[in-house]
Copies of this chain bind each other. A is one copy, B any other.
Amino acid sequence: MPAISLDQEKLTDDQLKTLDDMWRRCVRRIILSTTLAGSGHPGGSMSSLHLLLMLYSTLRHRPHDPGWTERDRLIVSMGHISPGVYAVLCEFGYIAEDAMLLEFRRAGSSFAGHVETCVPGVEWNTGNLGQGLSAATGMALALRLRQRDARVAALMGDGEQQKGQVSEARRFAWKYKLSNLLGIVDRNRLQIGGDTQTVMPQRIRDEYAASGWNVISVEDGHDYREIFDALRRVHRRDVPDPARPSVIVARTVMGKGISFMENNAHYHGCALTEDEAERAFAELGMENALASFQEKRRHHRLFQSAYCPAIPYPEIHEGSPREYGADVRIDNRSAYGAALEDLARLNNTGDTPKILGFSCDLEGSVKMKGFHKVSPDAFFEAGIQEHHTATVSGAVSREGFAVFFSTFGVFGVSEVYNQHRLNDINGSQLKLVCTHLGLDVGEDGQTHQCIDYIGLLQNLYHFSIFIPADPNQTDRIVRHAAQHPGNCFVGMGRSKTPVLTDRDGVPLYGGDYRFRPGRADWVRRGSDGAILAYGPMVAIALEAQRLLEEEDGLKVAVVNCASIKPLDEDAVIEAAGTGLILTVEDHHVETGLGARVAGVLADRAVSCRLVRLGVKHYGHSGAPRELYRMEGLDAPAILDAFRKAHAAVRSGK
């Protein structure tokens, strides 16, 4: 299937000639596309071009069937070399040259400044450096789990080797013996700021070797024969330890092929001017077609449609929910762990598991031990390497698995927000289940108290946010999350949570209850005002509601907003009908539910008194109940706030 077999001993003259011809056409496309757009990254594109051509020539792939499940994958981590990638994809028949040249960097087209998967042949949207190796690791893991013998290659820049996440990815690939993973570093020794060793000294080969990788040097990354030999060595397992991943570090020249561009960092991120392009084409002995393409580009309006293959998701059986009786006292974490274990038992029965689990040295605290025990091959302990873990779990989640990544909220959300963002852009379907949210973390103190998870994750367009209020609801939400595609955050605190019941003492989230995104639950009805809460605050709100009824004779509604995103806007409006809404949350008061409720009221032009209770300072280190008291989030404080607001509403103030 590949154009050139790595079983050959060496490249034939014909193949070399063909590669040379391809190279010339590709350089032309790189120069044309960037100069036409007036921006882009020609220098790195040309530095990587021989590597790209050799990779696409030797990898197994089917341009007419870009999603072929047995294909080898190429992830281009430095997404800014998009002109080079598109140029080569033209060569292999993935895309039409005209589309690339006329649409590059134009709003609404697929040919973005950084590679995106809407172009067939692109496997992962990149652009934020240092994440590509993690994504490739995820794909290599997925192929391994499916017993496919396809390989994954990650082409990386040398500048981005400075990113810490790369070191995390290296260790993970070493630990899991991902011999089907190949890194290729385009070592042109130039980054935007100039010489890489001046900007930030780094011994790239030593670092890979220290992380247990096989390291192969290519002295001239523009010599097809040398690149071929290196790829062939990996293919033939002619490396120190074939059970480990390998990296090829190829010495290259930025802007290779055009004299005045070579080794000139200026062309990292600058297109050639028209005059420079003229000179470049003259050097290449090519006709300068710039003017005619400029004219065509001006009139080109109907863009090539985006390539949007369906992202697979497994069929998951949810099993029978666990029911926790009214007298049970456990933490939601344990309910999560039990549900996940059930799901594993029920679904991970074939040769390939359907549900995968990732943790960062907190397996016990996040209650994944049961899952690990039932599905040892589907559990991945990724160490204290949250950035890599967020990306690798996100990448695997796009490969037809239901993937759960669990750690504390601070590490799973605040620390790795941008990794989730890039996952979200890539259409990942991650189930991010974080524990130890809020002041409820208690004694571990402010550095560990995640009070911004809504504030952060709400910025990600494709993430749902669910916060169960008790163990029963946790069980249902976890089963729901496992069954449904898409990114989803499920959050919980650390402490034990009472099982919520109706006025008759019957568990609210047992029996026929089914969790539905976008629907809030009226835990208590009342017309004197409504308290909107979620997570551990619902039980505390109920206590305040009881006191208000007993002491003041007030009928106060309590609404559990477990589905924060999507939010039940109709429930908010209905609550506003009481004339008073009190939001209560173990979360930054300005960026959580209260802010969302204010937004809904404003958008719908509904008038209602809103009082927002939440966290107003970084927390202390102490017992959660003490911290809640200090922040005005215990039942007496809620009671007090409600009373004051209710009196103000009644008096028309």
Contacts and interface: CB of A to CB of B under 8 A. Distances in A.
Interface of A: 37, 39-40, 79-80, 105-109, 111-114, 116, 125-130, 159-160, 162-168, 171-172, 174-175, 191-193, 199-203, 206-207, 209-212, 361-365, 381-385, 387-388, 410-411, 414-418, 421-422, 424-425, 443-448, 451-452, 455-456, 458-459, 461, 588, 590-591, 594-599, 601-603, 605, 607, 609-610, 612, 616-618, 620-623, 626-627, 630
Contacts of A415: 128, 418
A458 B590 contact: yes
A596 B594 CA distance: 11
B445 A112 contact: yes
* 5 nearest CB pairs, A to B: A164-B164, A107-B622, A127-B447, A200-B383, A112-B621
Contacts of A116: 445-446, 621
Question: What number of copies of this chain does the assembly contain?
Answer: 2
Contacts of A210: 203, 206-207, 209-210
B591 A459 contact: yes
Most buried by B among A114, A201, A417, A459: A459
B191 A384 contact: yes
A489 B461 CA distance: 24
A202 B385 CA distance: 12
Contacts of A203: 210-212
Nearest to A208: B210
Given A40-B443, A113-B445, A455-B459, 14 more contacts: A108-B620, A112-B445, A113-B443, A125-B446, A126-B447, A159-B361, A171-B201, A192-B364, A200-B382, A210-B210, A461-B617, A461-B618, A598-B601, A603-B612
Contact of A602 (B192, B411, B610): B610
A609 B605 contact: yes
Contact of A363 (B168, B193, B597): B193
Nearest to A207: B210
Contacts of A602: 597-598, 601-602, 610, 612
Nearest to A127: B447
A447 B422 contact: yes
B160 A384 contact: yes
A357 B620 CA distance: 33
Contact of A456 (B109, B456, B616, B627): B456
26 contacts: A80-B444, A112-B621, A114-B445, A114-B621, A116-B445, A116-B621, A125-B446, A127-B445, A128-B447, A162-B168, A163-B385, A167-B167, A167-B207, A175-B200, A175-B201, A191-B361, A202-B211, A206-B210, A414-B417, A425-B618, A456-B459, A459-B590, A595-B595, A598-B601, A598-B602, A598-B603
B445 A621 contact: no
Contacts of A597: 602
Contact of A114 (B127, B447, B456, B626): B447
A406 B316 CA distance: 46
Contacts of A206: 206, 209-210
A531 B206 CA distance: 57
Contact of A455 (B171, B456, B607): B456
A163 B162 contact: no
Nearest to A645: B605
B201 A113 contact: no
Nearest to A164: B164
Nearest to A193: B361
A443 B105 contact: yes
A425 B411 contact: no
A455 B598 contact: no
B591 A458 contact: yes
Contacts of A590: 458-459, 596, 599
A603 B645 CA distance: 11
Contacts of A612: 599, 602-603
Contact of A361 (B114, B199, B382, B601): B199
A172 B200 contact: yes
Most buried by B among A79, A107, A448: A107
Nearest to A204: B210
A174 to B, nearest CB: 6
Nearest to A107: B622
Nearest to A160: B384
Contacts of A446: 112, 116, 125, 127, 425
A601 B597 CA distance: 12
Contacts of A447: 79, 114, 125-128, 422, 425
Contacts of A448: 113-114, 127-128
Contacts of A40: 443
Nearest to A590: B458
Contacts of A455: 455-456, 458-459, 591
A525 to B, nearest CB: 23
B163 A621 contact: no
Contacts of A363: 193
A128 B415 CA distance: 9
Nearest to A112: B621
Given A107-B626, A447-B128, A456-B455, A362 B175 contact: no
Nearest to A410: B128
Contacts of A594: 599
B622 A114 contact: no
Contacts of A458: 455, 588, 590-591
B444 A127 contact: yes
Nearest to A212: B201
